Amino acid sequence: MEFLAIITLLFLVLGASLYLLVCVDPNSPGLLGKMNRLVFNTIPVIFKKILGERIFKIFQGAIDYFFYSNHPLVQIFYVIVAVGGYLVYVYFGFLELFDDNLYVSHLDTAIGSTMALFCFYSFFQACRYKPGIITKENNKVYQNEFKEYYDNVVYLKDNQCKTCNIIKPARSKHCRVCNVCVSRFDHHCVWIRQCVGQKNYKYFVKFIITHAILCDYGAYLGFRCIWGIIVQERLLQAQFRDPVTKQRLQATWGIIIKYLFYKNTMYIFIVILCVVMGIALTCFALYHLYMIGQDTTTNERMKRSDFLNFFDEETERLEKQLKKAENEEEIKEVSSKLEQVKSCQKRIIPIKNIGIWNGLKRVFSEPDELGQKFQNKKKQ
Ligand SMILES: [Zn+2]
Ligand SMILES: [Zn+2]
How many C-alpha atoms does 182 have within 13 Å on its Cβ side?
26
Task: Render 119-178 in DSSP notation, one character per residue.
Answer: HHHHHHHHHHS---B--TTTHHHHHHHTGGG--SSSS-TTPEETTTTEE--TT-EEETTT
- Distance in Å, CA 187 to ligand 1 centroid: 14
Counting ligands in written order, the one closest to the CA of 142 is: 1
- Tens of pLDDT, residues 176-212: 899 999 999 999 998 999 999 999 999 999 999 999 9
| Rounded distance between C-alpha atoms, residue 129 and residue 127, angstroms | 6
Report yes or no: 127 and 207 within 8 Å, Cβ to Cβ. Answer: no
Closest among 100, 40, 132 to 231, alpha carbons compared: 100
300 CB-near residues (< 8 Å, 6+ apart): 154, 171
| Residue 171 contacts residue 155 (beta carbons within 8 Å) | yes
Span from the CA of 24 to the centroid of ligand 1 (angstroms): 14
Distance CA 267, CA 226 (A): 10
Q: How far is the CA of 78 from the centre of ligand 2 (A)?
A: 18
| Mean pLDDT of all residues belonging to the chain | 88
> Measured in angstroms, how far is the CA atom of residue 172 from the centroid of ligand 1?
9
Question: How many angstroms is it from 77 CA to the middle of ligand 1?
Answer: 29
Residues 239-293 have pLDDT tens digits of 888 778 888 888 889 889 988 998 899 999 999 999 999 999 999 999 999 999 9
- pTM reported for the whole predicted model: 0.82
Domain ranges across the chain: 1-69, 72-134+172-295, 297-350
Q: How many whole angstroms from 357 Cα to the centroid of ligand 2? A: 28
Beta-strand pair 166-167/160-161: antiparallel
pLDDT at 1 over 60: no
For ligand 1, the distance from its centroid to the CA atom of residue 171, given in whole angstroms, is 13
- Label residue 104 exposed, middle or buried (CB < 10 Å: 0-12, 13-18, 19+): buried
CA of 283 to the centre of ligand 1 (A): 31
How far, in Å, is the centroid of ligand 2 from the Cα of 217? 31
